Amino acid sequence: MNFNKKIRILMEENYNLTDEQLGQAVDSFLQIHTEEIQEDGLDTYHCHRYEPTPYRVLEVLFDAFPLTSEDVLLDYGSGLGRLAFYTAARFGCPCIGVEMAEKWYTVAENNRLSFVMDDADIHFVLDTADHYEVDDRVTCIYCFNPFSPDVFRTVLTRIECSFERNPRVLTLVLYYPEDDTIFYIEQHTAFRRIDEIAASEAVKKDRRERFSLYRLTPNDTFNT
- Asked if pLDDT for residue 69 goes beyond 50, the answer is yes
Per-residue confidence (pLDDT) for residue 2, from 0 to 100: 86
Within a domain: 163: yes
Within a domain: 222: no
Within a domain: 134: yes
Within a domain: 51: yes
171 CB-near residues (< 8 Å, 6+ apart): 65, 139, 140, 141, 194, 213, 214, 215, 216
- Asked if pLDDT for residue 158 goes beyond 90, the answer is yes
Number of domains in the chain: 1
Per-residue confidence (pLDDT) for residue 49, from 0 to 100: 54
Per-residue confidence (pLDDT) for residue 1, from 0 to 100: 67
Q: Share the mean pLDDT of the chain.
A: 90
pLDDT per residue over 8-65, tens digit each? 999 999 989 999 999 999 999 999 999 876 454 444 444 445 688 999 999 999 999 9
* Side chain identity, residue 64: A
pLDDT per residue over 159-192, tens digit each? 999 999 999 999 999 999 989 899 999 999 999 9
Q: How confident is the model at residue 222 (pLDDT cuts 50, 70, 90)?
A: low
For residue 217, count CB atoms less than 10 angstroms from its CB and return exposed for 0-12, middle for 13-18, buried for 19 or more: middle
CATH of residue 81: 3.40.50.150
Mean pLDDT, residues 84-90 taken together: 98
Within a domain: 91: yes
Which structural domain range is residue 40 located in?
Answer: 3-216
